[in-house]
Amino acid sequence: MTISDLAVYLQMSQSSLYKLVQRGSVPGHKVGRHWRFHKVSIDKWLQEASAKRPRDANR
């Protein structure tokens, strides 16, 4: 998955996503100049982030 694919999947701007990726907040890797992401890793990352949120934040 490319960064533009991931931005659509996560419903966020590419510029915001680049910032998260460069900080190491999002699981991905660079291939040459381009970032690539595995959907399974992204889904796992989303689940883990969701599990860390307090229950009140989900309301």
In this prediction, residue 6 carries a pLDDT of 97
- Domain spans of the chain? 3-53
Which tokens belong to 57?
Answer: 């934040």
d(CA 28, CA 14): 14
1-25: per-residue pLDDT in tens?
Answer: 999 999 999 999 999 999 999 999 9
- Alpha-carbon distances of 30 from 33, 36, 50, rounded to whole Å: 6, 6, 25
In this prediction, residue 53 carries a pLDDT of 76
pLDDT of 49 higher than 90? no
